[in-house]
């Protein structure tokens, strides 16, 4: 059985912005995050990203720009010997009322279908409540990092039962691998 980890992007792998990450130049990795993904890969984990990207639906950037941002992420990660198997994203806004936008679990179900894997117990790392809610809906193991919106999320409370909390992705990965 393949071992999986599901990651949110903004605030987990890279620094987040309330103004959205709208260009490759604005995409900057959080220190230690790329090395952490590489450690997961080296330990035999497949890493997939599930990210809300409503900036597309809002017209703040187009698909070519989103692809360029992800190309930068893949290139920088490769320098550490790491890889992300796939990036699942929701381009919709709240108003679209879709099934893929977290906290809905559509992206998680798509990952399960695409890889023919049961997500129960799979670590799902995010920095916002909706990341954790989507994970909990499919029985994945919700993990909150304090980077990005993580501190605000922790202060607000209401986390799904059993949510683990770590300083950042590197700390979360250390726990997963221990």
Residues belonging to the active site: 8, 10
CB 177 within 8 A of CB 44: no
Say how many Å lie between the first and final Cα of the chain, rounded.
Answer: 19
Nearest to 159 by CA among 171, 151, 167: 151
Distances (CA, A) of 6 to 9, 60, 65, 88: 10, 26, 23, 10
Beta sheet of 164-166, edge-to-edge order: 86-90, 45-52, 3-7, 123-126, 141-145, 164-166
What is the C-alpha separation between 56 and 80, in angstroms, rounded? Answer: 29
What is the C-alpha separation between 28 and 50, in angstroms, rounded? Answer: 18
């Amino acid at each position: 059985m393949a071992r999986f980890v599901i990651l949110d992007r903004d605030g987990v792998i890279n620094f987040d912005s309330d103004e959205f990450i709208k260009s490759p130049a604005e995409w900057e990795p959080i220190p230690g995050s790329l090395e952490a993904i590489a450690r997961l890969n080296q330990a035999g984990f497949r890493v997939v990203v599930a990210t809300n990207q409503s900036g597309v639906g809002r017209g703040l950037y187009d698909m070519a720009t989103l692809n360029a941002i992800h190309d930068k992420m893949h290139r920088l990660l490769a320098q550490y010997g790491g890889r992300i198997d796939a990036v699942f994203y929701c381009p919709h806004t709240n108003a679209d009322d879709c099934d893929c936008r977290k906290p809905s679990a559509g992206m998680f179900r798509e990952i399960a279908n695409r890889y023919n894997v049961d997500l129960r117990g799979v670590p799902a790392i995010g920095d916002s409540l909706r990341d954790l809610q989507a994970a909990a809906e499919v029985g994945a193991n919700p993990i909150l990092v304090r980077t990005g919106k993580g501190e605000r999320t922790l202060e607000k409370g209401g986390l799904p039962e059993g949510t683990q909390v770590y300083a950042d992705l590197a700390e979360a990965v250390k726990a997963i691998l221990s």
